[in-house]
Structure 1
Amino acid sequence: MKKTRIVVALAAVVVIAYVGVRTFVPSVIEGQMNQVQRGQSNNVDETTLAFHNSLIVGDWHADTLLWDRDIAEQAELGHVDIPRLQKGNVALQMFTTVTKSPEGLNYEENATDAPDSITKLSLVQGWPMATWTSLTARAIHQADKLNQLAQQHPDDLMIVTSQSSLADFLTKRESTPKLVAGLLGTEGSHALDGKLENIQVLYDKGFRMMSLQHFFDNKLGGSLHGTSQTGLSEFGRQAVEKMQALDIIVDVSHSSEQTVKDVLAISQAPLVISHTGFNGHCQSKRNIDDSLMQQIADKGGLIAVGYWDGAICKITPNDVADSIIYGLKLVGEDHISLGSDFDGGVTTSFDSSELSVITRALLQKNVSKQSIAKVMGGNMLKFLQKQLPAN
């Protein structure tokens, strides 16, 4: 009897400890990684706010689904949730799924076999057992969270997977102006678990954009932050062809410069860089050469500007505007978008509820309203209307 009581007591301690870890550790980790450091006032005058709220606003990259919080509710943590997207007048939000990230990640060099921080995060957050070993399962788990949210809150979030569902969204938004369109993308195609057939698996789960690499080289080819700086592998070539056959948008953020060149050489559709800066504006190992940016734009692609120091060197709204203006001069107003990298382990000076500060900064720098409308989301909308699957 005494032995039984000891076992029960130990089991209770384990359960209590695990509940404590699940309750507190994820929020502590996110609080350290996704910060907002406000400097100048983020208040915007009524005229600017009215103009901002008249725009279609879109963001190509947020890693919000990685974190263990209910994004139907406004949080103090991080950068993105549905109420904050609504306050920021965001119509189009690409939710990108992080499935592997090396410990000690940096912009210079990361080994493919470095210890993975997402494995530990999945355990701490109580993800399904399949996610402990499968990167595809991790992407699917995050997609399921978004799809469930849309089912539970149909007046706040609608999943968009096609040109027809995008048109339905725009019609519905006329009577439900706070409605947000959620789209799904991968943060690197290691999420395929090395299998081409998983492209179809993820497509069937709603994924419509796939980036090829993250912070390390993978089976598809070299990362900008990997050890090899090689280009697209034969497997990578086959993956790009299969993605584009399904009208999946190919994202070359984090890809090595040689990989970008190789993808440009074979691509049958315009490319996206979903979150970046310009090396000519902010010389950083995070940013590829301006000449490649021009080639992407020349083939109809979009370059989405981020808000964190690794991409634009500083983080104020004026710094974001300066990076955008540099891009406008480099590739033209039809090829610049927004790519926040919100909730992706970055520090910014505003969150998704405060995107009007970008509009304000661009107006103050005498950017035309036409260009602002395109950058803030018009270009993203037009791109999706052409590049998503028809149905």
Structure 2
Amino acid sequence: MTRTTSRNLKSIGLWICGILVLSLSAFFVFAPGIVENTRNKIAVKDLPEISGEAAKLHSKLQIADMHADTLMWNRSLLKSSSRGHVDLPRLEKGNVALQVFSSVSKSPVGQNYDSNSAGSDNITLLAIAQLQPPRTWFSLLERSRYHAWKLRDDAAKSNGTLRAITNVAELEQLFKDRASGRQVTGGLFSVEGLQNLEGNIENVDVLFNDGMRMAGFTHFFDNDVAGSKHGVEKAGLTEFGEAAIRRMEALGVVLDLAHSSDETFNDAMKIVTKPVVFSHGGVKATCAVNRNLSDEQIRAVAGTGGVVGIGYWDAAICTLDVDSVVDAMEHVIKVAGIEHVGLGSDFDGATTVSWDASQLAVITQELMNRGYSDTDIGAIMGGNTLRVLREVLPAN
């Protein structure tokens, strides 16, 4: 081989390496956004016009939403985005006072509402593609801890406009400051499925110290805490699950029954001592999807003093319009009373909805159209959820 040929081959090799590096860089830069755009969509709908009266009322409400999965995606909460459904500018425009941000630590391949095994995981690939810290690639605990850090980090960078809420004192200060005219929004950290405990009860305290103040037992598969509505066995609470409940109640974590199997739901109701929530979903009476609540389950949640959060996507309400959201709300009211219904959007949860966080006044408008009083609308849009948080969260 001549020196010229050797230099040419070396140049070709460097060129090929350069192309590979650029290709990989482009993948890591653009792929996460492309994935999110295919998963979190807004359906093209003609939304109801918001009257001046409804806009005025909406601007005075203390709005709280119990579930959004925004922390899963590779974008800052602080920046306005064309992707997904939630960021701080949209929360501010929608007058949301408190948003619960959930950590999705695992999601099965081929996810469906009927039956999923725990043997596969989409979130590992997402974590790697988004260049999250390597510790999050193969640890569900570290994945949730990273999501908790993202919320705290964005709050620290927000110049006080976003606050991570961990206790009642912080919650009250949030509303005191909002009442004085300050533009400030609260974020509360939740986890979706306790598979992230990795079988160790001490990890309840680890996640609590990271900010966890709401926790769903399961997601789309059975875990070592409890059976899922969408799992294979769909069994109830394990001994480990019972221990986790007792520890979370002692610490001041709101228990979330969304995605829980019927057996898990029933087992939990036998031992809980504080209000629980069904953070996001619907009711079978208006949308007969298996993840939604029966009338008996609605009454059980209400019996603890808890709240049912109504979502805005097809599996929760079947038809993507505000009428269907309020129809589900009205059924909860009929079965359990006005004190036990709230918002549970499932924004950014790989869902298609008809509005984003900036457009929540459509719900206020529909509630007004149906004759609800300002007081009742305030309860539905956030007051009921805030009552539960005040009852369960640590004082300070």
TM range (shorter): over 0.9
Structure 2 residue matching 1:94: 3-state secondary structure: strand
Please say if 1:273 is aligned against 2:278.
yes
Provide Cα deviations, 1:110-129, integer angstroms capped at 9, x if missing partner: 0111x211011011100100
1-structure distance, mates of 2:109, 2:169: 41
Superposition pairs of residues 267-306 of structure 1, within 5 angstroms: 267-306=272-311
Q: Larger Cα Rg: Structure 1 or Structure 2?
A: 2
> Which structure 2 residue ranges, 5 or more long, are not aligned?
1-5
- DSSP 3-state at the match of 1:222: coil
Partners of 2:117 and 2:231 within 8 A in 1: yes
Q: Take 1:182 and 1:268, find their aligned partners in 2: how far apart are those partners?
A: 25
Matched with 2:68 is: 62
| Structure 1 position 161 matched with structure 2 position 132 | no
Instruction: Tell me the equivalent position of 1:96.
Output: 102
Give the 5 Å matches for 1:1-391: 2=7, 8-113=14-119, 115-391=120-396
Q: Which string of whole-angstrom CA distances, capped at 9 and with x for unpartnered residues, describes residues 120-166 of structure 1?
A: 10111001001111001111111111111111113320111001111
Secondary structure of the corresponding residue to residue 188 of structure 2: strand
Take 2:29 and 2:266, find their aligned partners in 1: how far apart are those partners? Answer: 45
Superposition deviation, residue 103 in structure 1: 1.1
Provide, for residues 323-342 of structure 1, a one-character-per-residue CA deviation record: whole Å limited to 9, x for no partner: 11111111111111100000
Partners of 1:8 and 1:249 in 2: CA distance: 56
Q: Give, in whole Å, the separation in 2 of the partners of 1:252 and 1:286.
A: 11
What is the rounded CA distance, in whole Å, between the counterparts of 2:10 and 2:23 in structure 1? 20
> 2:3 corresponds to which residue?
none
For residue 14 of structure 1, report the CA deviation from its aligned partner: 3.4
Query: What does the per-residue CA deviation read over 1:57-84, in whole Å, with 9 as the maximum and x for residues that have no partner?
Result: 0100000011111221111111000000
Distance (whole Å) between structure 1 residues aligned to residue 182 and residue 318 of structure 2: 35
> Is the 8 Å Cα contact of residues 96 and 184 (structure 1) preserved in structure 2?
yes
Deviation at 1:42, TM superposition (A): 4.5
Task: Return the alpha-carbon distance in structure 1 between the equivalents of residues 216 and 293 of structure 2.
Answer: 15
Q: What CA distance in whole angstroms lies between the structure 1 residues aligned with 2:88 and 2:238? A: 38
1:283-315, CA deviations, whole angstroms, 9 ceiling, x for partnerless residues?
111213220111110111111111111011111
Q: Percent identity?
A: 38
Q: Report the RMSD for the aligned CA atoms in angstroms.
A: 1.4
TM-score (norm 2): 0.95
- TM-score for the superposition, normalised by structure 1: 0.97
8 A Cα contact 1:224 1:255, kept in partner: yes
- Quote the Cα distance in structure 1 between the aligned partners of 2:134 and 2:185: 31
Whole-Å separation in 1 of the counterparts to 2:11 and 2:212: 50
- Cα deviation for residue 276 of structure 1 reads 1.2
Amino acid in structure 2 at the alignment position of 1:141: Y
C-alpha distance in 2 between matches for 1:10 and 1:202: 45
Task: Assess if the C-alpha contact under 8 Å between 2:273 and 2:304 holds in 1.
Answer: no
State the 1:109 CA deviation: 0.5
Aligned 8 A contact 1:57 1:377 in 2: yes
The one-letter code sitting in structure 2 at the alignment partner of 1:38 is V
**Mean CA deviation greater in 43-52 or 332-341:** 43-52
The amino acid of 1:90's aligned partner reads V
Moved more, 17-26 or 61-70: 17-26
Letter of the 2:348 partner, please give it: D
What residue identity is the alignment partner of 2:238? S
1:37 is displaced (CA, Å) by 1.0
- The DSSP-based 3-state class of the residue aligned with 2:97 is strand
Q: State how far apart, in whole Å, the 2-side matches of 1:313 and 1:177 are.
A: 38
Contact 1:56 1:373 in 2 (8 A): yes
2:333 corresponds to which letter in structure 1? L
CA offset digits 1:331-359 (Å, max 9, x no partner): 11111110000000111110000000001
Unaligned regions of 5+ residues in structure 1, if any?
A: none
Aligned length: 390
- On the 8 A contact 1:42/1:350 being kept in 2, the answer is no
Aligned 8 A contact 2:298 2:332 in 1 = no
Give the conservation status (yes or no) of the 8 Å contact 1:163–1:388: yes
Is contact 1:59-1:338 (8 Å) kept?
Answer: yes
The separation in 1 between residues aligned to 2:182 and 2:94, in whole angstroms, is 12
Aligned amino acid, residue 47 of structure 2 = S
Q: Is the 8 A contact 2:68 2:102 kept in 1?
A: yes
